[in-house]
Amino acid sequence: MNKLSFLALAAIMAGCCCNIDDVKPFGTTKFGEKASLYTLKSPDGLTLEITDFGGRLVRCWAPDREGKLADVTLGWNTVGEYETLGFSMGTLIGRYGNRIADGKFTLDGKVWQLPINETNPVPRHCNLHGGPDGWDAKVWKASEYDGKRLVLTLVSPDGDMGFPGTVTMKVTYTVLPQNIWRIEYEATTDKPTVINPTHHSYWNLAGEASGNVLDQLLVVNADKYTQTDAGLIPTVDAAVDGTGFDFRKARPIGSMAEWMAAQESLKPMDNWYDHNFVLNGKGSKLAAEMSDPKSGRVLEVWTTEPCMQMYGAQNMTTKLPAKEKGKNLCQFAGVALETQHYPDSPNHPEFPSTVLRPGETFRSTTEYRFKTR
């Protein structure tokens, strides 16, 4: 029985109402694994296309104030493009999102060495997003699917990319009424380890390949951001007051470009955004609101995580293709808003812990709420 037939039979046996036409082949990875593409639909218009290859969000159709749909996330059409073009485009990140200094950490007195893999556009001595073949490189198992909910699972073996412990990870994508996309993370381990999953979607609320997002508005619910060294490793938290990191009130993403360009400390980030914001509040809270005045689209990001990384796509170029034939991306073509724990937490005891031990369950929830005004 092939994969599609099995999914169809499983859906019938589970009593769900999914249409097998909503599951399509999506190519083969460099490891020879076959990927599929799933469609999730909200009754209010939001439509997602998600592949089990890295749990990537490939397309996100959201309505504007007149009800017109546009694909508001960046992505590509083939597995090969995702593998070769990079940028962690639209993918699940794990075992550890963001950077670990020198690819090294100590846990219970033992030193663990991870691959050093950030080399583009400039070399940095760190482990980035779990390593060169992290969870984004895997085809996850689609264990449940009904057209509104997709459950992806992955068993990451002991020693995977140098991390200790066999981790079982379950990620549930659910599309809800009122155009809400919910991501629920759940993980267990058989040995002490560290874990920091996130999702690396890029957003352009005017539509993919419509130009840059510098005039789109952003609010970030954070009084502090984390300064870094030249290798983008956190040093200390700093107040956003009087800086280009103050998004506590809505302003265009590009409105502080001159301030950013003048900062010597930001040269390693191309004088742009690749920083951790320390979110205000506990529990589930509003992390950010992005909006496009022209279309009226609004995206709210809600999360249980303590932090959010903002990456401004400053390294994208017009050489990168878009999904729509004949179109290309550009510098600042989107913005990634990655809910997370602090980068390099295992090496900073002052940061909230990312250690997961046997008998414990890691849980985290992030919602992307699409609205109009």
Which pLDDT tens digit goes with each residue over 181-216? Answer: 999 999 999 999 999 999 999 999 999 999 999 999
Active site residue 83: no
Set 49, 129, 199, 200: catalytic member:
200
Residue 262 has pLDDT above 70, yes or no: yes
Residue 4 has pLDDT above 50, yes or no: no
CA 333 to chain centre: 16
Which pLDDT tens digit goes with each residue over 233-253? Answer: 999 999 999 999 999 999 999
Active site residue 289: no
Is residue 260 within 8 Å of 266, Cβ to Cβ?
yes
Set 338, 341, 348, 367: catalytic member:
338
Question: How far is it, in rounded angstroms, from Cα 62 to Cα 372?
Answer: 10
Residues facing 198 on adjacent strands: 93
C-alpha dist (Å) from residue 31 to 25, 28, 83, 170: 16, 8, 11, 22
Instruction: Specify the pLDDT at position 269.
Output: 87
Residue 7 has pLDDT above 80, yes or no: no
Q: 3-12, 73-82, 128-137 — which is least confidently predicted?
A: 3-12
C-alpha dist (Å) from residue 334 to 26, 48, 271, 307, 366: 24, 18, 16, 20, 19
Nearest to 279 by CA among 366, 209, 212: 366
Which pLDDT tens digit goes with each residue over 21-54? Answer: 679 999 999 999 999 999 999 999 999 999 999 9
Token pair of 255 as six digits: 């409105």
Which pLDDT tens digit goes with each residue over 330-370? Answer: 999 999 999 999 999 999 999 999 999 999 999 999 999 99
**What is the mean pLDDT of the segment spanning 260-276?**
94
User: Mean pLDDT score of the chain, rounded to an integer?
Assistant: 94
Question: How far is it, in rounded angstroms, from Cα 103 to Cα 126?
Answer: 5
Residues facing 194 on adjacent strands: 355
Residues of the chain above pLDDT 70, percent? 94
Number of residues that make up the chain: 373
Q: Are strands 99-101 and 104-107 parallel, antiparallel or unpaired?
A: unpaired
SS (H, E, C) the chain: CCHHHHHHHHHHHCCCCCCHHHEEEEEECCCCCEEEEEEEECCCCCEEEEECECCCEEEEEEECCCCCEEECECCCCCHHHHHHHCCCCCCEECCECCEEECCEEEECCEEEECCCCECCCCCECEEECCCCCCHHHCECEEEEECCCEEEEEEEECCCHHHCCCCEEEEEEEEEECCCEEEEEEEEEECCCEECECEECCEECCCCCCCCCCCCCEEEECEEEEEEECCCCCEEEEEECCCCCCCCCCCEECCCCHHHHHCCHHHHHHCCCCEEEEEECCCCCEEEEEEECCCCCEEEEEEECCCEEEEECCCCCCCCCECCCCCCECCCCCCEEEEEECCCCHHHCCCCCCCEECCCCCEEEEEEEEEEEC
Nearest to 269 by CA among 220, 326, 310: 310
Find where tokens 């264990």 sit. 143
Confidence of residue 120 (pLDDT cuts 50, 70, 90): low
Token pair of 366 as six digits: 């992030």
- Supply the Cα-derived Rg of the chain in whole angstroms: 20
Residue type, 199: H
